[in-house]
Amino acid sequence: MASSATALKTRRRGSGPTADTVAPPRNDQVDWNLFNPRIYHAHNYRTLRDDDRQLVTHVRDFFGSVRIAPTAKGLDIGPGANLYPSLSMLPFCGQVELVEYSAANIAWLRRQQLWLRRFDRSWDKFWSLYGEHPAYAPFVRANRPLDAFREKATVSPGSIFELKRARWDVGTMFFVACSLSADRGEFFRGVSRFLEALRPGAPFAAAFMTGSSGYEIKNQTFPAFPVNADIIKHALTRHAPGAEITPIKTDLRPEVGMVLATGFRRR
């Protein structure tokens, strides 16, 4: 078990790069295979934090209020070691595809699908929170989260920059576009590629860290482009002009915040 000092450093949103480390500026210059999903999961998702509680509640209320066909295909781009965005779509979709760039994260995600892992209880609190909404309740009552994940989720290697266009009916993107690199252009392209991967009219939820210029997982620095609500709105304007922006209260660091965007891909 990592010490609490290490724990603070490993949060996806917990600490900036140290003075003597400079985040590589572009996505393909980062060795994403050094991303440690076990530690990332342990420090971010083993318990249900209050900021994640707010995110789950907003996403649940949004997806629970829109029509999604039972045959729908969902996309979660850049899942890392976070299953709750894909869990938000499982009750409504025939299939949910998790597209991830890091081989280490792909291996971790595939291990979650083995029967061996079915008694990992860390997702139960997230699942119960989804189950409080009437649109989710019957499915949540009838299925355990990892059973549903094993049944309906597929894990594919891939990059946000190479997603097929207009292929998915609903999508999530949590802390990915702002965390691809320190490059403004890659942030904007990441948001656009995600939205272009959705069919016209598809609902989506996307979470962003604001004000972050990077984070560490076990002494390994990963980059971020520091966005704010206006930059996020600007990035969404072309493909999702009506997106709703919800600030999320977080106590991580004074200079870092979170924003959730929900809406529909322009028709």
Ligand X SMILES: C[S@@+](CC[C@H](N)C(=O)[O-])C[C@H]1O[C@@H](n2cnc3c(N)ncnc32)[C@H](O)[C@@H]1O
Point out the residue whose Cβ comes nearest to ligand X.
Answer: 80
Q: What is the DSSP string of 84-110?
A: HHHHHHGGG-SEEEEEES-HHHHHHHH
204 touches ligand X by CB under 6 A: no
Residue 214 Rama label (left phi>0; alpha psi -120 to 50; beta): left
Pattern 7-26, binding to ligand X, x per CB under 6 A?
A: -----x--------------
Residue 254 Rama label (left phi>0; alpha psi -120 to 50; beta): alpha
CB of 178 to ligand X, least distance (A): 8
Pattern 39-68, binding to ligand X, x per CB under 6 A?
A: ------------------------------
Selected range binding ligand X among 62-70, 111-119, 149-157, 158-166, rule: CB under 6 A: 158-166
Segment 74-93, which members bind ligand X (CB under 6 A)?
A: 77-80, 82
Place of tokens 């019957």: 138
Selected range binding ligand X among 64-72, 126-134, 136-144, 175-183, rule: CB under 6 A: 175-183
Round to whole Å and give the CA distance between 111 and 201: 33
Round to whole Å and give the CA distance between 17 and 3: 19
223 touches ligand X by CB under 6 A: no
Round to whole Å and give the CA distance between 185 and 233: 15
Strands of the chain (E only): list them: 73-77, 95-100, 153-157, 170-174, 203-210, 214-217, 220-223, 244-253, 256-264
105 touches ligand X by CB under 6 A: yes
115 or 236: whose CB is closer to ligand X?
236
27 touches ligand X by CB under 6 A: yes
Interacting residue ranges for ligand X, rule: CB under 6 A: 12, 27, 32, 35, 77-80, 82, 100-102, 105, 159-161, 174-176, 179-180
